[in-house]
């Protein structure tokens, strides 16, 4: 995968993460306040967890979204 495709996938993963976080906001709050600039404030500090004697990537982090988008596109390219 070249740099342009990887960059495009990372941007798509950011957009998906932002839209997912906006759906998790309670009704009284303003969901439009969440954007790319302040995305780090809404994500947990720990990106990995220790389970079964190994470190694993925590679900619903930015890197996890990137990996999931990449997996889906690889499956689509193969078919």
Q: What would the pLDDT profile of 37-76 be if each residue is shown by its tens digit?
A: 999 998 888 999 999 999 999 988 899 999 999 998 888 8
At residue 32 the predicted structure's pLDDT band, cuts being 50, 70 and 90, is: confident
Number of independent structural domains in the chain: 1
Rounded distance, CA 61 to CA 68, Å? 11
Rounded distance, CA 73 to CA 49, Å? 26
> In which domain, by residue range, is 73 found?
3-78
Statement: the pTM of the whole predicted model exceeds 0.85: no
């Amino acid at each position: 995968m070249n740099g342009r495709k990887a960059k495009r996938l990372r941007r798509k993963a950011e957009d998906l993460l932002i839209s997912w976080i906006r759906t998790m906001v309670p009704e009284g709050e303003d969901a439009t306040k969440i954007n790319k600039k302040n995305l780090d404030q809404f994500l947990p500090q720990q990106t990995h967890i220790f389970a079964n004697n190994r470190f694993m990537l925590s679900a619903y982090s930015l890197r996890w979204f990137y990996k999931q988008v990449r997996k889906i596109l690889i499956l689509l390219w193969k078919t």
